[in-house]
Structure 1
Amino acid sequence: PSRGGTMMTLRGVDASEVESGVLCMFGEESVAGAVGGDGTVVCRSPSSAGAGVVSVRLSEGADRRDLGQSVSFEYFEGPFIYDVRPTIGGLSGGTTVSVTGAGFFGVSAECRFGAEVVRGGQARVVTSSVVACVSPVAGAAGGVAVEVSLNGGSDFTNERVQYVYGASAVVSSVMPSRGNSGVSGQVVTVIGSDFQHGTGLSCRFGVTGSVSGLYESSSFVVCTAPSRTAGSVRVDVSNNGMDWSESQTRFLYEHADGVWSLSPSRGPVKGGTPVVVSVSGAGDSYSGVYCVFGTTEVA
């Protein structure tokens, strides 16, 4: 990158010919080089005014005697990053994270999550502003900085945009566990653990489509069940809209003569909450109506 600081290794240098300190000349800019016994010289690139290719050659001494080595070095602008989506994911990794920024180029990239680096098929440049990275496994919950490299890991961005690892959502039950088929808007409370507050919190009824979840606590999420045909479907929760629980909890869509709804759908355990039950499409002749809450009947 044009900010400099890239460690560059030049090979094929005869250390016996070097009489004094070696300089690496990046165009007209010089920096000190370190000579290794294996015929290498390591230089740290100076900053550049912008992108472009410069010639790098080696010299030594006050008169800068040319040592005959000359290679090309390309400076590029950036890159830098400013956002990741999703911002949270499970400890087991495997989440595809979109890193948004600028100055991305080429095809391959390397992504660093804390100290863990992913590369190859796990990191790729999508556009000049997006890099897709697959999160690695994490040993513990918590935030890590996400950075990107475009030159094989020699230089990474340094914006320290955070990605948070946490336990995956677990679903244990739903209330109510059944509702009417062909009706949308039925409120369902999902009970479980490790629910996380965030814009990605979602519920899924079946294997396709999802709805936003309303965070109540790490154990309760309120969802609006979408319209489905009659039948039993699995209910899952995702903290980031991508990685889903593996629940065996089911919600039953039943055929009904009418469309039922109630308001409010929740109340304190002490009871006494007035509840309005509305019905449409099933006629208007009712007598001797009772409400049953679980196994308790009230007039």
Structure 2
Amino acid sequence: MNADKSILITGCSSGIGLQVALGLQERGYRVFASARLATDVAMLQQRGLEACQLDLDDSCSIEAAVDWLLTQTGGTLYALFNNGAYGQPGAVEDLSRDVLRQQFETNLFGTLELTNLLIPVMRRQGYGRIIQNSSVLGLISMKYRGAYNASKFALEGLTDTLRQELHGSGIFVSLVEPGPISSDFRKNAYTKFKQNIVIEGSAHQRTYEAVEKRLAAQPDPEKKDPFTLGPEAVLKRVIHALEAKKPKARYYVTVPTYLFAYLRRLLSANMLDLVLRRAADSENK
């Protein structure tokens, strides 16, 4: 039933992007999966997906991917799922301008550029779906995640504005806000932590040592976090955003997202800060 519905998905090398791409293909969508590395594109093609290289940090790569996509579809596109992103750990006072810029290049600027290239396609055809993969950290902030928090708060602000601006165009815009999801996110965050944060001499050195230990630890397959869901939980929300006559503006995923969204409305700023500080401190003991 969805054979005429094409969708471009970013960040498909693993986790949410890969699960959503495979799940939608199985559901009958024509899925165009993208990834930053050529090796990951080859893997996606081996999995039976139409795939291309797309680096959100590179305007030329974005433009080339869009040109390729529209050639394949004859100039149409039903949906875009902006999933590509990473997390940069580190205290705000230890983030350089370049490191923060890198976080925004991938998580916001590249996403915006790609979206803006495809909106005219959807306007011409009179319909479309834009789905942004945000985070619970686009709703609340936690210590040592300032760069990621900021990029997701910014994505939420742009998306809320875009949804209003596209009202009546036939293009629907939705945010998906996952909490903890099984993926390579922590492994990739650890890589960025090692690359960009200087531990020695920082006022946060002791906490960083605990952060490093947590991020470097191999997850115990016997120990299942009751709050962590598989990426198929995100797939379920994406399907609703694609197929509902009136998709939701926001889709919460996992108990922590529902909980913190509720506490943000219920508690004062000081009380919410207390809850969030304790959550972060317990995580980094």
TM-score, normalising length from structure 1? 0.22
Between structures 1 and 2, the one with greater strand share? 1
Between structures 1 and 2, the one with greater helix share? 2
Q: With CA pairs under 8 Å and 6+ residues apart, which has the higher RCO, 1 or 2?
A: 2
Higher Rg: 1
TM-score, normalising length from structure 2? 0.23
